[in-house]
Amino acid sequence: MTEMSRRLFAELIGTFWLVFGGCGSAVLAAAFPEVGIGLLGVSLAFGLTVLTMAYAIGHISGCHLNPAVTIGLCAGGRFPAKDVIPYVIAQVVGAIIAAGLLYAIASGKAGFDIASGLASNGFGDHSPGGYSLVSALIIEIVLTAGFLVVIMGATDKRAPAGFAPIAIGLALTLIHLISIPVTNTSVNPARSTGPALFVGDWAIGQLWLFWLAPIAGGVLGGVAYRLLGGWKAAQS
């Protein structure tokens, strides 16, 4: 395997883990009778997928697991533009494989209905809390921007070494705690695409927002930290 092939394979595996673990917790365990993990459990599950994979593959690929993160890091001067498209493709493929396996498992339960969403992201009638398109757009942009600031700050060479995965995983947990009621939380176009392809219908129709908003937020956060980091460096 070439170095680039290893990096892309790591991104595929890592994104698979994020979608299978995070969406799997929502679909299989969130409302399980009597011992359901609820929204807090789902939020922790998403955070733990990133935390664990950051330690497992961070040294191989950087553990982006998210097109918005890859593009945001590029905008922030931390990632080469020539590698963005291959990374995004690997991430989307990993998410689709995870969603497919999750569908195969979930459909083994009597009464399962794919129309319930497979943890898909949505707004309006398909928002868990009935929030509008504008609410979804704003929260996805703001939270993805914040996520990029945390990622870039935690991985800055001036930050304490070895703790970045913890900060990033906790940030994603916080993001889910805030926004599951609004959009079911995306901040990740690959995570949104995998389930949407199996749900079809409304999930495909609303998928555009969960590419547009996280990418816009990622670029905003990447540029913001680039300015902030440069200012700090100039003061040191």
Which CATH number do you get for residue 221?
1.20.1080.10
User: Which conformational region is residue 103 in: left (phi greater than 0), alpha (psi within -120 to 50 degrees), or beta?
Assistant: alpha
Cα(29)–Cα(31) distance, integer angstroms: 6
CA dist list (Å): 184 to 53, 82, 117, 118, 130: 22, 32, 10, 11, 11
For 26-41, the pLDDT digits (tens) are 998 876 555 567 889 9
For 166-215, the pLDDT digits (tens) are 999 999 999 999 999 999 999 999 999 999 999 999 999 999 999 999 99
Domain holding 121, by residue range, is 3-235
Number of domains making up the chain: 1
